């Protein structure tokens, strides 16, 4: 399956709370390369045995940001709470899907400027009601605790770029699945590789730690997205789309692994960028590094615009180069001799 096709299929599916469509889709693709096991929540993983028991864990989180219903009033309007970080400015008039007894389309309400008198600002998501159109009948389908996800079809933009929802971190998931396919076809590997699709990253990096505790790798690479360049975003705080994945350097990461990744990219003529973080990384690497007795950890991040919206943008060449870098890194033994 082409990488873009895989990304689009993952984008169209949801993985949030008890909604497991994307997790099951990803697990089905991963199962074409390795046997798949289930962890807690939506977490799935598979292991490809190598010549050495030295295990490299490659992680991407399968969960996404969204909302959960907290109340349904008598007129069919829903009150929701955010699941993960949401930009409230982007919510009014946006279409969503409510995962009740059946999938139900709904829209966030928006006060017309003619009536508000000025641009309305929201400080609390509970103030932006959802309209189901069902009136009192909504209570027969929707209950507090039901999940709500954005509704948007992925689309191709100019210049090799694509837009869609949940590219954070379905872009990383697509790379993990493609890497599994490539390494399965490569034959005998110098190290053992675990492909982890973890749950709960958007809720405080919750799901990766129990999975890593179970799998007990010697090193881990967290694949996630990072802030892409754009209007109003400082160059030192973002990565340029189309210029390759960003290799992380941070006091909380293993410096030798970061240097091994950059050396691998240079030796294989793979474009890359450097992402320097002064503290922790805000990714699953922060939990991976302190699992059990500690795991040597690195990050590779894909530049992405419009994070945590239904109009996220990535450049497909960055995903391709992420797969190329990881493949070359594993075939060179990962950090076994770093």
- Tell the residue number behind the tokens 């954005």, with chain if given: 150
Strand runs (DSSP E) across 207-337, as ranges?
Answer: 219-227, 246-249, 273-276, 296-304, 312-315
Going by C-beta distance under 8 Å and a sequence separation of 6 or more, which residues neighbour residue 207?
Answer: 39, 40, 41, 42, 43, 61, 63, 198, 199, 200, 201
State the catalytic residue, choosing from 118, 153, 178, 201: 201
Q: Cis omega before residue 61 (within 30°)?
A: no
Whether 201 is catalytic is yes
3-state secondary structure 279-303: CCCCCCHHHHCCCCCCCEEEEEEEE
Q: Which two tokens stand for residue 208?
A: 């990766």
Look at the block and give the residue holding tokens 């039901």.
Answer: 146
Please provide the distance, in angstroms rounded to a whole number, between the alpha carbons at the two ends of the chain: 33
| Peptide bond between residue 169 and the one before it cis (omega within 30 degrees of 0) | yes
Q: 93's torsion region: left (phi>0), alpha (psi -120 to 50) or beta? A: left
The residues carrying an active-site annotation are 201
């Amino acid at each position: 399956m082409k990488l873009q096709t895989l990304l689009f299929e993952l984008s169209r599916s949801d993985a949030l709370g008890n909604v497991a469509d994307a997790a099951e889709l990803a697990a089905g693709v991963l199962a074409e390369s390795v046997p798949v096991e289930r962890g807690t929540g939506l977490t799935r993983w598979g292991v490809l045995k190598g010549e050495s028991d030295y295990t490299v864990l490659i992680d991407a989180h399968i969960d996404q940001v969204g909302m959960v219903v907290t109340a349904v009033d008598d007129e069919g309007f829903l009150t929701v709470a955010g699941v993960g970080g949401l930009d409230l400015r982007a919510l009014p008039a946006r279409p969503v899907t409510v995962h009740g007894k059946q999938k139900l389309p709904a829209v966030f309400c928006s006060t017309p400027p003619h009536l508000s008198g000025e641009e309305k600002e929201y400080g609390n998501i509970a103030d932006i009601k959802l309209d189901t159109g069902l009136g009192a009948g909504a209570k027969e389908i929707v209950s507090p605790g039901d999940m709500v996800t954005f509704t948007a079809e992925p689309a191709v933009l100019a210049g090799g770029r694509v837009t869609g929802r949940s590219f954070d971190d379905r872009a990383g998931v697509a790379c993990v699945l493609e890497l599994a396919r490539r390494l399965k076809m490569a034959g005998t590997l110098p190290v053992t590789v675990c492909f982890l699709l973890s749950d709960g990253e958007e809720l405080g990096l919750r799901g990766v730690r129990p999975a890593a505790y179970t799998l007990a790798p010697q090193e881990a690479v967290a694949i996630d997205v990072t802030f892409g360049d754009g209007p109003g975003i400082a160059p030192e705080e973002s990565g340029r789309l189309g210029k390759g994945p960003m290799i992380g350097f941070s006091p909380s990461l293993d410096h030798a692994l970061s240097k091994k990744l950059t050396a691998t990219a240079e030796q294989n003529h793979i474009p890359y960028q450097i992402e320097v973080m002064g503290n922790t990384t805000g990714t699953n690497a922060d939990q991976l590094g302190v699992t059990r007795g500690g795991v040597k950890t690195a990050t590779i991040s894909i530049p992405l615009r419009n994070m945590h919206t239904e109009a996220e943008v990535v450049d497909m060449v960055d995903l391709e180069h992420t797969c190329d870098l990881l493949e070359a890194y594993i075939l060179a033994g990962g950090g076994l001799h770093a």
